[in-house]
Amino acid sequence: MLLLGVLPTCLAACLVTGAAAVPGPKDGLAESARGRQWPLRAMDVQEAWQRSRGAGVTVAVLDTGVDPRHPDLAGVVVRGPDLTGADRTRFGRHGTAMASLIAGRGHGAGRTLGVLGVAPEARILSVRVTLENDDPQRGDARVGARSGLAVGIRYAVDHGAQVISMSLGGGEGVQEGSPEEEDAVRYALGKNVVLIASAGNDGAGANRRNFPAGYPGVIAVGAVDERLRRAPFSNRHDYLSVVAPGTGIVSADGPDSYLIADGTSSAAAFVAGVAALVRSRYPALTALEVRQAIQRGARHPAAGPGYGHGVANALGALQAAEQMHRIPLAAVSRQARSSVAHDRSRELIGIGLLLVVAVLATRVAITR
């Protein structure tokens, strides 16, 4: 994620009356944050909410950790393990930002303030697998090992995640991937879990292959700007699935503020939210079918490797999923019984006609 600006806030004093009140940013700032959420309009998210809001779905955010103290994420976050090997666990800013884009619920009266995620009724499982770019421990070879991602994927699968969001990659040593990570990806797909990852942010330079986005079966997401044009920094490869908003993105930051940033990280988080909407509405669909629904429902498809199947669209994905939705087993059973009865009726009619022909033939023989 490319940081453009931080919007600091002041915390209001809270009167404790039996339970700690949730601190919140100043109302003016929270209102400004909501007004800046252009991706919700570009992806037809509000129209999609008439069909699904992500209820019952757990999205694992494999990142720098998610801060549950942010008012837009109150009651949303389940805290998983810290797999970085760091001396002390911190709540990551990057992970918090991604979680808010997936399942932010806003705050205040009627939740009209703050950031709304694409799937505001989904839950977040936070698994810390990497450190912030400016963390002083990042340079320690013993800390933040890539093996943490493989372990984190397996942990998320085994603890009920239906969607795994990985806004990761772009750093040193991630252009080759690893057998452990690829095995973990296959394990998740075998358990019918949807995996989403950011395509990477060096598209204007080396445009290197990026993992985990490059693993087969992972939904790799690039970025577009507000005019739905490919962002120059967004990586371009043939494994790209879709693109999503990734410039001028406002999100939660730390326990009590917001930031505006560019990057494919945000784009991947938005698509993870779309996957949660589809999984909530159509839980019988497989991980592959969810991926196909997201790709078929994409809007504004464009030629070239930088767009994949087009711009991810929440409503379009749900509409595509509806067409793919399996007929309920009860209906299949009824159809099967009806088919059997119909075939039996045809069989009886055939036997009857044969008997009539036989009788007529007998009469002709007797007459002669």
pLDDT tens-digit profile of 202-239? 988 888 889 999 999 999 999 999 999 999 999 999 99
Check whether residue 344 and residue 319 sit in a common domain. no
Check whether residue 270 and residue 342 sit in a common domain. no
Could you count the other beta carbons within 10 Å of the beta carbon of residue 101?
Answer: 33
Residue range 173-198, pLDDT digits in tens? 456 789 999 999 999 999 999 999 99
Check whether residue 137 and residue 96 sit in a common domain. yes
**CA atoms lying within 13 Å on the CB side of residue 77:** 27
Check whether residue 284 and residue 352 sit in a common domain. no
Residue range 137-164, pLDDT digits in tens? 776 655 555 679 999 999 999 999 999 9
Check whether residue 241 and residue 334 sit in a common domain. no
Integer CA distances (angstroms), 24 to 152, 261, 264, in order: 31, 21, 28
In the chain, the number of structural domains is 2
Q: Quote the domain boundaries for residue 346.
A: 328-368
pLDDT band at 116 (very low <50, low <70, confident <90, very high): very high
Check whether residue 37 and residue 56 sit in a common domain. yes
Contacts of 214 (CB under 8 A, 6+ apart): 177, 220, 237, 239
Using DSSP's 3-state secondary structure scheme, residue 235 falls into coil
Residue range 263-297, pLDDT digits in tens? 999 999 999 999 999 999 999 999 999 999 999 99
The one catalytic residue in 126, 265, 266, 280 is: 265
Check whether residue 363 and residue 255 sit in a common domain. no
Check whether residue 116 and residue 71 sit in a common domain. yes
The one catalytic residue in 44, 52, 63, 309 is: 63
Asked about 265 being catalytic, the answer comes back as yes
Asked about 70 being catalytic, the answer comes back as no
Check whether residue 193 and residue 156 sit in a common domain. yes
Check whether residue 56 and residue 89 sit in a common domain. yes
Contacts of 102 (CB under 8 A, 6+ apart): 59, 61, 117, 118, 119, 122, 124, 165, 269, 270, 272, 273, 276
Check whether residue 176 and residue 219 sit in a common domain. yes
Residue range 311-352, pLDDT digits in tens? 999 999 999 999 988 544 334 344 444 444 454 555 555 556
Check whether residue 271 and residue 343 sit in a common domain. no
Bigger pLDDT: 290 vs 357: 290
Integer CA distances (angstroms), 349 to 119, 335, 339, 358, 359, in order: 56, 21, 15, 14, 15
The one catalytic residue in 70, 94, 237, 309 is: 94
Instruction: Give the integer Cα–Cα distance in Å for 142 and 88.
Output: 14
Residue 110 has pLDDT above 70, yes or no: yes
